[in-house]
């Protein structure tokens, strides 16, 4: 075994941790209460266990080549983990921890750029009557959204809202229809109200995008055939 100790309890530990991690991911997806805490707990315990295993292996390896390989392997593995750590790190460093952390005074007014798009090749055009709205805490702003169905078939649609910074999404409340049905060539106009729930920051660049999507989720990531559509479009 070249001095490698692989005690049974290590395998049991690894198996237990893997099953638990998978279960916690499922619970997380199902949004079960405390699933997030369980997930991070397992992540830390698992990471710690793995680090200990590497340490134990290299400490007991009687061959210095093997010891080098294990140390280098651990370094490589930690860099893989680091690539995932960079995801929350990126959002913290580049977008701020949350909008509330950089709040200005209670009376601050934020200017929000409003954009509207229809998702991928949806044959519906969408317009808003205001490019920018100003929001203060507790304030409300209304603007009009116009939809035009350019196809000869009816469209079942829903509106998604994306904000930049993304933490901003939780501090505003939009009064808007859940689902919209557009008949062939129909033009529809409806008001949309934005209410701010928490204090706003006036020193940040904020934008809000209304994303129109069909209710069948066509074009969602992983379910898309947009590459084929693009090729078809190119070939005319």
| The one among 52, 75, 144, 190 contacting other proteins by CB under 8 A | 75
CB contact at 8 A, 215 and 124: no
Residues in 96-155 at the binding interface with other proteins, rule: CB under 8 A: 119-120
Task: Give the CA diameter of the chain.
Answer: 78
| Residues within window 33-72 making contact with other proteins, judged by CB under 8 A | 64-65, 68-69, 72
Does 84 sit near other proteins (CB under 8 A)?
yes
Phi, psi of 161, rounded to the nearest 5 degrees? -120, 125
Taking CB under 8 A as the criterion, the residue among 8, 33, 152, 228 binding other proteins is: 228
CB of 117 to other proteins, least distance (A): 10
Asked whether 66 and 3 are in contact (CB, 8 A), the reply is: yes
Instruction: Find the binder of other proteins among 77, 97, 174, 187 (CB under 8 A).
Output: 77
Q: Which two tokens stand for residue 100?
A: 């509330």
Q: Whose Cβ is closer to other proteins: residue 7's or residue 76's? A: 76
Cβ closer to other proteins: 45 or 162? 162
Residue located via tokens 């590497």: 54
Between 71 and 136, name the residue whose CB sits nearer to other proteins: 71
Could you say whether residue 80 binds other proteins (CB under 8 A)? yes
Query: Total residues contacting other proteins (rule CB under 8 A)?
Result: 38
Kindly give the pairing relationship between strand 206-214 and strand 109-118: parallel
Residues that bind other proteins (CB under 8 A): 64-65, 68-69, 72-73, 75-77, 79-80, 82-84, 86-87, 90-91, 94-95, 119-120, 160, 162, 164, 166, 209, 211, 219, 221-222, 224, 226-228, 230-231, 234
């Amino acid at each position: 075994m070249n001095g490698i100790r692989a005690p049974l309890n290590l395998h049991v530990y690894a198996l237990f941790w893997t099953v638990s991690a998978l279960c916690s991911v499922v619970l997380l997806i199902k949004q079960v209460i405390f699933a997030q805490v369980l997930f991070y707990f397992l992540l830390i315990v698992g990471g710690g266990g793995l680090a200990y295993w590497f340490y134990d292996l290299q400490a007991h390896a009687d061959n210095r080549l093997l010891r080098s390989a294990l140390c280098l392997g651990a370094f490589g593995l930690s860099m893989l983990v680091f690539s995932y750590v960079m995801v929350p790190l990126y959002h913290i460093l580049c977008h701020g921890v949350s909008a509330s952390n950089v709040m200005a005074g209670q009376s601050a007014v934020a200017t929000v750029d409003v954009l509207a798009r229809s998702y991928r090749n949806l044959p519906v055009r969408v317009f808003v009557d205001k490019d920018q709205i100003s929001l203060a805490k507790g304030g409300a702003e209304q603007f009009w959204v116009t939809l035009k169905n350019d196809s000869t078939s009816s469209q079942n649609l829903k509106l998604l809202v994306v904000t930049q910074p993304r933490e901003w999404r939780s501090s505003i409340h939009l009064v808007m229809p859940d689902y919209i049905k557009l008949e062939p060539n129909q033009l529809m106009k409806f008001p949309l109200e934005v209410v701010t729930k928490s204090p706003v920051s006036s020193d940040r660049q904020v934008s809000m995008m209304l994303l129109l999507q069909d209710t069948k989720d066509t074009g969602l990531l992983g379910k898309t055939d947009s590459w084929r559509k693009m090729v078809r479009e190119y070939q005319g």
